[in-house]
Amino acid sequence: MTTAPLSTPSWTHAETYVAEDEALAAGRARAEEVGVTAIGQGGGAALSFVASVLEARAVVEIGTGTGVSGLWLLRGMRPDGVLTTVDVEAEHQRLARETFTEAGFAPSRARTIAGAALDVLPRLTDGHYDLVFADGDKVEYAAYLTEALRLLRPGGVLAFDNALWHDRVADPSQRDPETQAVRDLLAEVAAHDDLVPLLLPVGDGLLLAKKVWLP
Ligand SMILES: C[S@@+](CC[C@H](N)C(=O)[O-])C[C@H]1O[C@@H](n2cnc3c(N)ncnc32)[C@H](O)[C@@H]1O
């Protein structure tokens, strides 16, 4: 016998269990102003938790937006940790810096790099990062996985937002490029010998995977 599925009120209760404060609300308001979809509350809390468990000192984020996910990450990281965050839109990053500053983080805690992810990521150091969080162009998710595997230290964790992509991933009739790219990513991560995967049904879905320690 399997456990019965939870009702929608229970999902909502879980999603909002870890509260957001004014600084996160301000980041969300900036996101709305410029038409960016920020990570959901439950996904943000999960990122903060993972960064905290890892005692993360070095994190890469792909898709800064206006800093909502970045702020959740910074709050989980070590006090001397640095978030390296990449976005193709310099204006989004300007707003993200406002979000971080308003929340009390020194500018040195966030290294914002403006540029296309697949141009910037190859310049970052191999095996240096505790956590890589991807929330950029869904069609590029397979390429972000390749980069994340190179960037992560053994024992590090990768995270991809929108892993259920608006309920489309689980619906076989949906064949658009973004949905297919997310589906392909899920299959590749699940089958990867060097990864321990977990698909969390928070927000729009958060795929996590730990890069195993080598023998
Ligand atoms: C969903 S939003 C990120 C939201 C942010 N992670 C948050 O939760 O607050 C996606 C961001 O990725 C950026 N983006 C899209 N394609 C990109 C690419 N190829 N390289 C870098 N950034 C990209 C967009 O400009 C946008 O700011």
Largest CA distance in the chain: 53
pLDDT at 206: 98
Would you place residue 56 in the very low, low, confident or very high pLDDT band (cuts 50, 70, 90)?
Answer: very high
* Residue count (the chain): 215
Distances (CA, A) of 85 to 137, 200, 201, 213: 14, 23, 24, 25
Instruction: Give the integer Cα–Cα distance in Å for 69 and 77.
Output: 12
Would you place residue 213 in the very low, low, confident or very high pLDDT band (cuts 50, 70, 90)?
Answer: confident
Nearest atom in ligand 1 to the alpha carbon of residue 31 is 9
* 134 has pLDDT over 80: yes
Out of 28, 60, 87, give the residue to mutate to test ligand 1, the one with the largest number of ligand atoms within 8 Å of its CB: 87
- For 71, list phi and psi in degrees, rounded to 5: -70, -40
Q: Ligand 1: does its nearest atom lie under 6 Å from the Cβ of 28?
A: no
Nearest atom in ligand 1 to the alpha carbon of residue 61 is 6
Out of 84, 86, 88, 165, give the residue to mutate to test ligand 1, the one with the largest number of ligand atoms within 8 Å of its CB: 88
pLDDT at 1: 61
Top pLDDT among 80 and 215 is at: 80
Q: Ligand 1: does its nearest atom lie under 6 Å from the Cβ of 159?
A: no
pLDDT at 3: 76
Would you place residue 97 in the very low, low, confident or very high pLDDT band (cuts 50, 70, 90)?
Answer: very high
